[in-house]
Structure 1
Amino acid sequence: MMESDIKISPAIFLLIAGAVSLISSLGAPLIPAISVFYSIPPEKAQWSLSVTLMSATIFTPILASISSSGNFKKVISISLFLTTIGCFLCSFCNIFSVFLVGRFLQGIGMAVVPSLMTAARYLTNDVKKTVSLLSITTAVGIGLGYPFSGLLTSMFGMHLTFFFGGCMVILSLFLSFNLKDIKNDRMYKFDIVGSFAMSFTIIIFLLLCDQIKSKLNLFNISILFLLLLCSMFFWYHLSKNNSNSIINISVLKNTSVYTANIIVMLSGMIMYVLISASMYRIQQVVSPGLNLSPLVAGAALTPLSVFTIVSRYINLNNLSDKSRLLLGSLGLIVSMVLLGVSNTVFSTVFSLGICGYAIGIIYGSAPHIISSGVEDQQLHEAFGLNQISRSIGYSIGSVVTMNILSTFYSIHGSPSVTSYLLISLIGLICSIFLSLIIILSFNKIMNNINTGG
């Protein structure tokens, strides 16, 4: 790919990334408000978050693949246009199914950040600084977006919040017109069938997770499980011999890769267990809820983003990867214990802050584990699959948490103390399991790195 002679101001990239990051934070604090507005149970309302995460998971590798051909302006502008439509659909519709379509389109905006980073490599002068700032801007945007969306919802209601989000994306869409496409020296062929196989696998997997309820439908579970096995088998063999594969799932055969993917998926799931349960309990009207506003719920999430950023600078690099991962898993254990034993705003904020730092430590260690045990030509595919694993973990945590909260209702028709204790116990078990995976697998990882296997 040839570099562009015309360089673009880094401010354009940062403003676009900030806008889509703010939009991505509209989901978690608003689930209770969505449940009330559409008169639906919380396990259905949570799909307003899960469908956005699912969309982002699917479109991140797709947009990254297309933009690698040099079509930066087209990819980013069209993505932002679709995100704008999604925001306005959510702001005007009174039908939940249409609302979900809008939320799905908003997930495309979340997926555009890696494409922005790729474009910055060719369209800016100070590449390293711009890409680094993009990463920080994304985290800051999400951190600011939580209280901001809570404030807007408290003052103007849910629909106007999405309307304002649409206006912000329109501004970023106009900014994207300053970008440009550049010439690619190599032949490019988009993996359409592979993209379909990946999307189908992810959707079936999340639908299977949604079946974890008080009354298990064994027929539905069996059908979805068989479909999942078939789609994974098809995706694996499709990508195995395809040099243009969207994501080469066969890299999971590498010990470092599959272990790192299990670690980030589990930790991402635990994080969204905490987020989903905390957001609902803060706004739940009756005990054990705190009966507080969406503004408080959004503000409570800010420490999670702040301490994720802090982990980039206080990253304990003097420790080994194993020690840092174990420290991160310990932080997740503490946050889950706090979720179960206390239901004050302070303890919630404290647990989310600990979780944010723990996640930052874990996610910061995963790329090194992967790159240490994978050949250079497979790094792109391994990192792409790792990003998908994170997002799948987020979606699993969201779906399972709201299903369990809805299972154990109190006499008031809201999640009971038992619901939150069970959620805390599940998160705690997963955190301990994560620690065991790190302890038991790390020797094997190091052997794999040393032998190059």
Structure 2
Amino acid sequence: MPTTPTRTVHPTAIVAALSAAGIAVSLMQTIIVPLVPRLPEYLHTSNDNAAWALTATLLTGAVATPIAGRLGDMYGKRLILALSLLSVALGSVVCALSDQLPPFLVGRALQGVGMGAIALGISMMRDSLPPERLGSGIAAMSASLGVGGALGLPIAALVAQYDWHALFWGAAVITLVCLVAVLIVVPASPAHRTAGFDYVGAVGLATALTLLLLPLSKGATWGWATPLTLGLFAGAIIVFALWIAYELRRDHPLVDLRTTAERTVALTNGASMAAGFALFSMSLIPVQLLMAPAVTGNGNGLSMVKAGLFLAPGGLVMFACSNIGARVSRAFGPRSSLALGAAVMAVGYLIQLVLLVADWHIGPWHLVLITCTISAGIGIAYAAMPALIMGAVPLRQTGEANGVNALMRSLGMSVASAIVGMVLAHNVVTVKLPTQAGVRALAFPSNTGYLIATIVSLVACAVSVVCALALRPAR
């Protein structure tokens, strides 16, 4: 329902509605984490098949994000955002009603379709907010990804103890409330229907991303050197090459690759991918250190609920520091904010590295310090990325460009899942622990695994810093 010309909406209400929508969507990434060990039992399936519940959302989210951005530019961002939120709500209802794997996967895939909401919300702020509020609004929207992810873990763990279906009913209600708020509060954005939708380009991008993300997410299970994994990687390279050649010949492509290759956009996307790696690595390492048994030598033996509560402050710090990022960008330019954020992230990983090298036990409060430091850096850096992107592209391409930037973050997170997961899985210590089936030998990551994963994450932070410093200073 379009906004009438006489209607005025306070900028704070617009930022609140869009940020709440971003938090609701990002909750879908962590809402399932507490369920993973019990999903085979809940859905009457095997461990390998249950793992597709995570992969389905990853795949559809990566594919939908750039496509949603392009559709938003063509048909109006509020309309596509509303459809994205509706897909998340529908997917949540399907999951809540499911006791078998196939419908549950359909629901998780529908939830993934809504992952383009954050990029759309950032683009809508450029259309709706006055210039003096734009920086802080974009920063809050960017940080909603981390806030939802951090808060989702303890909340989901608490609810899942009583009724796992209630998690998805709650997600559906929250998403529908956010949908209503967006429709009431946020003005409609202008549409730019310069040409028809590039269906061939959309199919090509979806195929290429699927061929890339499947082996990244399942390679550890299938084996990295198996014909299936290598074949999918080779197929991804071939399809990406064909897709690029096709898009470059189009007058109105799905993704304007010439704009994407522009220095500011390309370097910002590179920094986004590296920051996405650092963000996801932070979610993989601390939770294992908190939950691993104390007998392993490096674990703290906490439950999922307690571990989530120790990790929750990171999301709040990320949100608070996003405003610092906006202020730094306003005073010194978004290039400085991006470099500062990446450097602060590196400090967090350096603290973790020092503790590991010194062979000190990393307790829960050490991890609060580490995750809050890394989260502060992510909040500062993420506030700068949309500003850099939108300052380098025309208004009619903001949805598309932010969608591609969000995709690069998702790819960074996927690469982190593969690399850090592989490192931790191949460097383990085995201990005998009592289980329901008797005493069993169980493997947990060793200090060597954590050390290598931390070094790799530090390298990702360094890449983000280098990309930021290579940007042209703001005039």
TM range (shorter): 0.7 to 0.9
Q: Look up the match of 2:86.
A: 81
Cα displacement string for residues 324-371 of structure 1 (whole angstroms, at most 9, x for unaligned residues): 266235225326527855442212222211111122333345456667
Q: Look up the match of 2:369.
A: 350
Residues 17 and 382 (structure 1), Cα distance of their counterparts in 2 relative to 1, 3 Å cut? closer
| Number of residue equivalences | 443
Please report how far the alpha carbon of residue 66 of structure 1 lies from its aligned counterpart in structure 2 after TM superposition: 1.8
Q: Retained in 2: the 8 A contact 1:28–1:275?
A: no
Give 3-state SS (helix, strand or coil) of 1:34's partner: helix
1:391 aligns with 2:410: yes
Amino acid at match of 1:62: I
Please report how far the alpha carbon of residue 30 of structure 1 lies from its aligned counterpart in structure 2 after TM superposition: 4.2
CA distance in 2, matches of 1:393, 1:356: 16
Q: Retained in 2: the 8 A contact 1:28–1:279?
A: no
Q: Look up the match of 1:7.
A: 7
Q: Look up the match of 1:162.
A: 168
Q: Look up the match of 2:437.
A: none
For residues 220-299 of structure 1, what are the structure 2 equivalents within 5 Å? 220-251=228-259, 253-284=261-292, 287-288=295-296, 289-299=299-309
Please report how far the alpha carbon of residue 87 of structure 1 lies from its aligned counterpart in structure 2 after TM superposition: 1.0
Q: Look up the match of 2:455.
A: 428
For residues 160-239 of structure 1, what are the structure 2 equivalents within 5 Å? 160-175=166-181, 178=184, 184=191, 186-210=193-217, 212-213=219-220, 215-239=223-247
Residues 325 and 132 (structure 1), Cα distance of their counterparts in 2 relative to 1, 3 Å cut? closer
Residues 26 and 343 (structure 1), Cα distance of their counterparts in 2 relative to 1, 3 Å cut? farther
CA distance in 1, matches of 2:190, 2:345: 45
CA distance in 2, matches of 1:326, 1:141: 21
Please report how far the alpha carbon of residue 239 of structure 1 lies from its aligned counterpart in structure 2 after TM superposition: 2.0
Amino acid at match of 1:227: G
Q: Look up the match of 1:59.
A: 64
Please report how far the alpha carbon of residue 425 of structure 1 lies from its aligned counterpart in structure 2 after TM superposition: 1.0
Q: Retained in 1: the 8 A contact 2:204–2:239?
A: yes
Structure 1's unaligned 5+ residue stretches are: none
Q: Which of the numbers 108, 113, 117 marks the counterpart of 2:113? A: 108
Structure 2's unaligned 5+ residue stretches are: 432-439
Give 3-state SS (helix, strand or coil) of 2:254's partner: coil
Amino acid at match of 1:246: L
CA distance in 1, matches of 2:468, 2:390: 15
Give 3-state SS (helix, strand or coil) of 1:68's partner: helix
Q: Retained in 2: the 8 A contact 1:53–1:394?
A: no
CA distance in 2, matches of 1:27, 1:443: 31
Give 3-state SS (helix, strand or coil) of 1:5's partner: coil
Q: Retained in 1: the 8 A contact 2:60–2:112?
A: yes
For residues 13-24 of structure 1, what are the structure 2 equivalents within 5 Å? 14-15=16-17, 17-19=19-21, 21-24=23-26
Q: Look up the match of 1:337.
A: 353
CA distance in 1, matches of 2:307, 2:164: 14
Amino acid at match of 2:313: P
Please report how far the alpha carbon of residue 273 of structure 1 lies from its aligned counterpart in structure 2 after TM superposition: 1.7
CA distance in 2, matches of 1:375, 1:170: 32
Moved more, 171-180 or 348-357: 171-180
Q: Retained in 2: the 8 A contact 1:150–1:295?
A: yes
Q: Look up the match of 2:434.
A: none
Moved more, 208-217 or 304-313: 208-217
Give 3-state SS (helix, strand or coil) of 1:190's partner: coil
Q: Retained in 2: the 8 A contact 1:213–1:404?
A: no
Structure 1 length-normalised TM: 0.80
CA distance in 1, matches of 2:100, 2:135: 39
Cα displacement string for residues 281-314 of structure 1 (whole angstroms, at most 9, x for unaligned residues): 4345674443433332332332322222333343
Q: Retained in 2: the 8 A contact 1:35–1:41?
A: no
Cα displacement string for residues 42-86 of structure 1 (whole angstroms, at most 9, x for unaligned residues): 887665445434433322222222222344564333322221121
Moved more, 92-101 or 218-227: 92-101
CA distance in 1, matches of 2:276, 2:348: 10
Amino acid at match of 2:140: I
CA distance in 2, matches of 1:444, 1:141: 31
CA distance in 2, matches of 1:254, 1:72: 24
Q: Retained in 2: the 8 A contact 1:150–1:297?
A: no
CA distance in 1, matches of 2:94, 2:235: 31
CA distance in 2, matches of 1:53, 1:23: 13
1:136 aligns with 2:140: yes
Amino acid at match of 2:156: S
Q: Retained in 1: the 8 A contact 2:65–2:404?
A: no
Give 3-state SS (helix, strand or coil) of 2:74's partner: coil
Q: Retained in 1: the 8 A contact 2:207–2:239?
A: yes
Q: Retained in 2: the 8 A contact 1:42–1:406?
A: no
Amino acid at match of 1:80: L
Please report how far the alpha carbon of residue 387 of structure 1 lies from its aligned counterpart in structure 2 after TM superposition: 2.1
